A and B are shown apart, each in its own frame.
Chain A
Amino acid sequence: MLDCTPKEIKERTGGVINPAKTCQPIGAMYAALGIHRCLPHSHGSQGCCSYHRMHLSRHFRDPIMASSSSFTEGSSVFGGGANLKTAIKNVFAIYNPDVMAVHTTCLSETIGDDLPTIIKGAEIPEGKVVIHANTPSYQGSHITGFSNMVKGMVNYLSTASLETKKEQVNIIPGFVNPGDMREIKRILKVMGIKFIMFPDTSGVVDSPMTGKYEMFPKGGTTLAELRDTGNSKVTIALGSYASGDAAYQLERKCQVQPLIIKTPIGIKASDEFLMALMNKFTVDIPPELAEERGQLVDIMTDTHFHFHGKKVAIFGDPDIVIAMTEFLLSLGMKPIHVLTGTPATGGAIGHTVGNFEQEVGEMLKQAGVAGRVKAAGDLFELHQWIKNEPVDLLIGNTYGKYIAKAEDIPFVRLGFPILDRSVHSYLPVVGYKGAMRLLEMISNALLDRADRDAKDQDFELVM
């Protein structure tokens, strides 16, 4: 049995065992993939780029393209400026993207490469754009990296070119799957609201099979749309950690009103998302969405007794975990261990966005659930909590399977990365439809388990 975790908890200060996060650049790479015809570029040695592509490939099961500055010993002594200039030249000559989105690595950050200056001095073909984000790996997490690259899009591209703002909304969806982004776009279309979603990885990392390989698939937010974000009336940032910074930056730069709300996972957060749209635009909730909500409530009613009082451990990225915790509480479940690997307060530079421990702590308190909440935690610690106070269900990314197996707990995969299952990135967990899917996943996990454990005399046809 793969279980090296002792039950006794002692304080650790030396590092992390079994991380619940990874480093900034992969988040930046994922965000950059959400721009139409964009090639993400990793400014550092080859390993980083290779790992990020591999990890994203495993999660999305689609080709993930990104170039590297291919640092050698020389570059780390004399600076990577020459490498980046060569890279910019080569990337446009060979791959011909519309946008090249450069992110730094711990190496290029530490030797102090000044990206804005290098980029300004580089030969960039006419009509092409190079943007950048600083993503030192020793700060924050992959969520911080995502946030920084989205902010980079605003810094470089958003322009307030009109005197009066357009009746349109910017949506920053956060570090979610392309299936989620499609669902959010569907909701906006059904509501009849004009929108620009950025980044938008749908159509890029879930592109259809045509038998022809496209280095730059159809999807992604276009350059024109990114520029036009400065003309929108309002920005709705879904999830404070991954999307908040960019929304505030758009306010500073182009006076677009920011609104930071939860990732719309579960009934309450989805309601809030629709209410926010209703408040900002004079629209009613269309019957289609009202019907979906009704169906969701119907399912929740039909099944609430399966969920009631069940203890849950949940870990993952802060925006997802915060919203999911709220949904679990609305089902009458008890999320008693809640953990993220990302540091407590988001926003690497400038604004502080989000406060994981306080936000989740408040929700648990209001629901009368005694639970442990931690930011900047690791899975070793979560495992120890579970050993000391067992749960009925574990929710998190693929790495949770070690704990689930060791402790024999039903396990629902949610978040990033999911490396051992397919289809997940196509199907949403956001909105009312997403909530239905989550209900199915959770109840299947619990009921399969009940069937498996039932003695013959307790085995039932109808549950």
Chain B
Amino acid sequence: MQKPILWEDIILDRAASIATKGKQKNKIRCDTDSVAGAVSQRACVYCGARVVLNPVTDAIHLVHGPIGCASYTWDIRGSLSSGAELYRNSFSTDLKEQDVIFGGEKRLARAIDELVKKHPAKVVFVYSTCIVGVIGDDLEAVCKAAASRHNIEVIPVQSSGFIGNKAAGYRAACDALLRLIKPNKPMKRTKKPVINYLGDFNLAGELWIIEDYLKQMGVTVNVAFTGDSSYQRLKKTTSAALNIIQCAGSMMYLAQQLKEQYGIPYFNVSFLGLQDTSDSLRKIAAYFQDEQMQARAEALIKRETERIMPELAWYREKLKGKKAAIYVGGGFKAISLIKQFKEIGIDVVMIGTQTGRREEYETINELVNEGTVILDDASPSELEKFMTEKGTHLLVGGVKERPLAYKLGIAFIDHSHDRKHPLSGFVGAVNLAKEVYATLCSPVWNYL
């Protein structure tokens, strides 16, 4: 007889990655490797790099490796473009056995040549995958030669899957971006309220919503990283007066580098939910010390708040007392969601991330109620256990969590790059409430 699975045994191994607010003194363990044999929800370095760079709309994104890596990332980001659509194609060197034995450099060079002839792009990102790291192709050299052959920029992205987890991929992407935005001659930083917006990928057009608010305040978005961005716009990066960061997990490193190398100051913002959106707009206006701008910000916040409050109040009434579980990629989103759920009367009883950082977990711990389970790099079994224990009504997660929630008879909303509704800004706050209501209060649950 196989001995029954004891949750205590599993928890023993994973204990340091799971905490219950109010019960533990030790800090949660995060940013470690997963246990071999675990059903992890995590992805790889290449995945991290690709999701960050993919929204550069007029670039050729060439994946150097066997076909899979390119296949699975073909246009899954849902980042909208106001212009070029080149980024929505899938380019791969489709390495074969021969290339693995003799090296894939020639094939890569040929692929770049052929692609550049077909598509007049100014920049090619070449992603390395696991196998390229192992067979040791000199990406740097191939890219350099191709760049001079075609007189464009060909930038290697060092994203072999096994060199870390998704967060290492974010860093690889930021390194590639830093190479791209390096100006030929020093650029003069503007004194005007012109900013870069880091960590928005224009899912469902979210960037455009925020850009519009800022415009109403008199602030211009210089470059967004990387939502709806292009070669020409990225080249202007270093002229901005300020960087604001939404998704800190992916973009903090870039912000730090931009400060170090070009002296551009930065701070974090969040445009998820009523409170965070208002706070962030105020913070930006305060930074520029322009009274008129602050007045415009206040007017905008007042107008938008008054417009959405009746709607939010209606949803709040319907959703009061429901319990939610959150399992998302990064910490920033998790933190914003706790606040957003408070706005619509929902308690968070379980919260976890794939790649959250220590300081983010500290903030999470401050925000949640006593007894809330906090966990890093969870497996589906853990999600199931805690959601069931806590009597969860709703799960917020990504693609792989959706069917799990449904099978448990739990409502679900998608907060990954699969989502189709903008969740940013005032309009996003209503959309989230609407989406939560649609799933939580759907008649389908009556047929269980």
Contacts and interface: CB of A to CB of B under 8 A. Distances in A.
Interface of A: 1-4, 6, 10, 12-19, 21-23, 25-26, 39, 41, 44-55, 57-58, 61-73, 75-76, 83-84, 86-96, 105-107, 110-111, 125, 127-128, 136-139, 141, 207, 209-215, 341, 380, 399, 402
Contacts of A54: 72, 399-400
A51 B118 contact: no
A1 B84 CA distance: 10
Contact of B107 (A15, A41, A48, A110): A15
15 contacts: A4-B86, A4-B119, A44-B130, A45-B161, A46-B43, A51-B47, A62-B403, A63-B403, A68-B34, A70-B36, A75-B162, A76-B162, A138-B66, A211-B408, A380-B89
Contacts of B39: 39, 65-68, 95
Contacts of B118: 6
Contacts of A105: 130
A106 B107 CA distance: 17
B32 to A, nearest CB: 10
Interface string B1-36: 010010001100000000000000000000001111
B156 interface: no
A111 B164 CA distance: 18
A18 B95 contact: no
A106 B35 contact: no
B67 A22 contact: yes
B71 A23 contact: yes
A286 B404 CA distance: 41
A111 B134 contact: yes
A110 B40 CA distance: 24
A19 B67 contact: yes
Contacts of A213: 384, 404, 407-408
A421 to B, nearest CB: 15
Nearest to B107: A14
Contacts of A212: 407-408
A6 B120 CA distance: 12
B235 interface: no
A87 B399 CA distance: 24
B108 interface: yes
A21 B70 CA distance: 10
* Most chain B Cβ neighbours within 10 Å, of A1, A46, A71: A46
B88 A107 contact: no
Contacts of B163: 73
B90 A17 contact: yes
Contacts, number: 254
Nearest to A348: B97
A153 B244 CA distance: 54
A449 B328 CA distance: 41
B291 to A, nearest CB: 45
Interface string B308-347: 0000000000000000000000000000000000000000
A53 B107 CA distance: 30
Contact of B38 (A2, A47, A90, A380): A90
A347 to B, nearest CB: 15
Given A64-B400, A76-B134, A138-B66, 10 more contacts: A16-B70, A18-B90, A45-B162, A47-B43, A54-B400, A70-B36, A88-B37, A106-B68, A139-B97, A399-B74
A84 B36 CA distance: 7
Contacts of A25: 68
Given A107-B134, A209-B448, A65 B36 contact: no
A94 B10 contact: yes
Nearest to A86: B36
Contact of A51 (B68, B112, B164): B68
A248 B129 CA distance: 35
A391 B38 CA distance: 48
Contact of A46 (B42, B65, B380, B400): B42
* Most chain B Cβ neighbours within 10 Å, of A15, A73, A84, A107: A15
The majority secondary structure among interface residues of chain A is loop
A404 B42 CA distance: 34
B83 to A, nearest CB: 12
A2 B10 CA distance: 48
Contacts of B41: 50
Contacts of B247: none
B301 to A, nearest CB: 37
Contacts of B62: 15
B37 A41 contact: yes
B5 A110 contact: no
A4 B400 contact: no
Contacts of B99: 138
Contacts of A67: 37-40
A120 B62 CA distance: 40
A106 B96 CA distance: 10
Nearest to A80: B36
Contacts of B47: 47, 50-51
Given A68-B38, A95-B39, A17 B5 contact: no
Interface string B99-133: 11000000111111111001100000000011101
Nearest to B133: A76
Contact of A23 (B66, B88, B113, B164): B66
A340 to B, nearest CB: 13
Nearest to B409: A211
* Most chain A Cβ neighbours within 10 Å, of B40, B72, B86: B72
A15 B68 contact: no
A105 B130 CA distance: 10
Contacts of A83: 36
* Most chain A Cβ neighbours within 10 Å, of B34, B73, B164: B34
A57 B36 contact: no
Nearest to B72: A51
Contact of A110 (B43, B135, B402): B135
Q: Which 6 A-B pairs have the closest CB atoms?
A: A47-B44, A23-B68, A14-B111, A90-B37, A87-B37, A14-B110
Contacts of A62: 403, 407
A136 B44 contact: no
Interface in B125-148: 129-131, 133-135
B162 A107 contact: yes
B43 A51 contact: yes
B230 interface: no
Nearest to A24: B68
B182 to A, nearest CB: 28
Contacts of A21: 67, 71
A394 B295 CA distance: 56
B414 to A, nearest CB: 12
B162 A23 contact: no
* Most chain B Cβ neighbours within 10 Å, of A1, A23, A62, A128: A23
A380 B65 CA distance: 18
B111 A4 contact: no
B353 interface: no
A70 B40 contact: yes
A2 B88 contact: yes
Interface string B54-96: 0000000010011111111110000000000110111111111
Nearest to A91: B37
A170 B323 CA distance: 49
A63 B402 CA distance: 8
Given A69-B37, A211-B409, A213-B407, A14 B162 contact: no
Contacts of B66: 23, 106, 136-138
Nearest to A417: B71
A332 B440 CA distance: 49
Contacts of A87: 36-37
B253 interface: no
A46 B131 contact: no
Contacts of A209: 406-407, 409, 448
A111 B403 CA distance: 35
A94 B130 contact: no
Interface string B383-417: 01000000000000001101110111100000000
Contacts of A91: 37
Contact of A19 (B74, B107, B135, B403): B74
Contacts of A95: 5, 39, 381
